[in-house]
Amino acid sequence: MSGIPVIDLFAGPGGLGEGFSSVEEPSGAARFRIALSVEKDPAARYWADL
């Protein structure tokens, strides 16, 4: 696996994980990789699962 692993706490719908996922190297390869997303709030988790 390539990219720097990121743990996204309080994942919810978008936010920090979306920002990290959008960063690319000049070659187009992903700079970061979401290794784990955690969300405690059931409503926010529902949207993150979509």
**Each residue of 5-45: pLDDT tens digit?**
999 887 777 678 888 989 999 999 999 999 988 888 888 77
CB 20 within 8 A of CB 47: no
CB 34 within 8 A of CB 1: no
Phi, psi dihedrals of residue 4, rounded to the nearest 5°:
-75, 125
Is residue 1 very low, low, confident or very high in pLDDT (cuts 50, 70, 90)?
low
CB 20 within 8 A of CB 49: no
pLDDT of 14:
67
Tokens representing 28 are 């187009």
- Indicate the pTM of the whole model: 0.67
pLDDT of 48:
60
